[in-house]
A and B are shown apart, each in its own frame.
Chain A
């Protein structure tokens, strides 16, 4: 087992199991490339009749929720801001870019997130080109998972709306986060 501490406080435990699977903090994780993630995103975007972008965001939200939940159970993270730091560091550690969560403890009603660098947008731009509509459905899911963990709600409690996108030419992506009354999964 290889244990390393990143610049701030995200603890990363890397293990390889008997099937040669890679475990990061006990969660099986795999490398994939910009082509693969772009084609998943394109498939989700094209499947509008099936609400593909929502399916992709939900898939991301469910998986990242498990990652954060497991991490916070294993490690004593003392404060709300420390948890935010961990989530932001995990985002970068995973290769997804740079995320800043602008959230206030006990005030889940409205928040904001920004990405000054986004793997999803960069991958899309490398493979195709800019477009006016957002493509970062996986980022939406990541932010939803973070908010659900931080405010101890269900995943469906938050709506994430991307108002500025790197893929559309903005210098950073901006996400507005709204708490809804929807508590159904």
Chain B
């Protein structure tokens, strides 16, 4: 792959979308907000606790789905943005364009402060393994020390959505849901890093 991740992250991190006179932040063809990370974790924890074991799969699945829709639409908006094309575009090798695009997208995830996450293995169109040395969802371990399940549902959703963008069977916006993701290691459960494996659904 041709992406200079360190340089890409440094440049992407300089992007600071700001609110307009209505108090809204239009960016990448979307409306975004910048809220405390604790809020997202806090609600996810509350709804999972309330769901209990019987409804865990439903609650976790819906939280992951929120992440996948976010990743799909925001990811598409970002890779088609002027900023992404200006920073990542020149690093993309036409012979590995989709793979470079994916690596660039995860540089965005890191630059935007969601997770320090990078691809460690990629079989184009089939499988992707990611390693995250830091991600905000892992912070839940401070409030839920007895956590039993991996908690990085947003990252799971985003990771599979990015594969949908790169290798989905249908063009945007009709290609979501062709991949699935498993979190196989979790900082929040005591592992030294988070690991995510994306494969075809």
Contacts and interface: CB of A to CB of B under 8 A. Distances in A.
Interface of A: 14, 16, 19-22, 24, 27-37, 39-40, 43-44, 47, 50-52, 55-56, 58-60, 62-64, 66-67, 91-99, 116-117, 119, 122-123, 126, 138
A95 B33 contact: yes
A67 B23 contact: no
Contact of A29 (B34, B43, B67): B34
A51 B35 CA distance: 23
Given A62-B42, A122-B31, A27 B47 contact: no
A32 B66 CA distance: 11
A63 B70 CA distance: 21
Interface residues of B, number: 51
Contacts of A44: 43, 47
Interface in B3-27: 9, 13, 16-17, 19, 22-25, 27
B73 interface: yes
Contact of B31 (A33, A98, A99, A138): A33
A52 B114 CA distance: 25
7 contacts: A21-B136, A30-B40, A31-B33, A32-B35, A32-B74, A33-B31, A94-B34
A40 to B, nearest CB: 6
B63 interface: yes
Given A30-B136, A40-B66, A63-B38, A21 B113 contact: yes
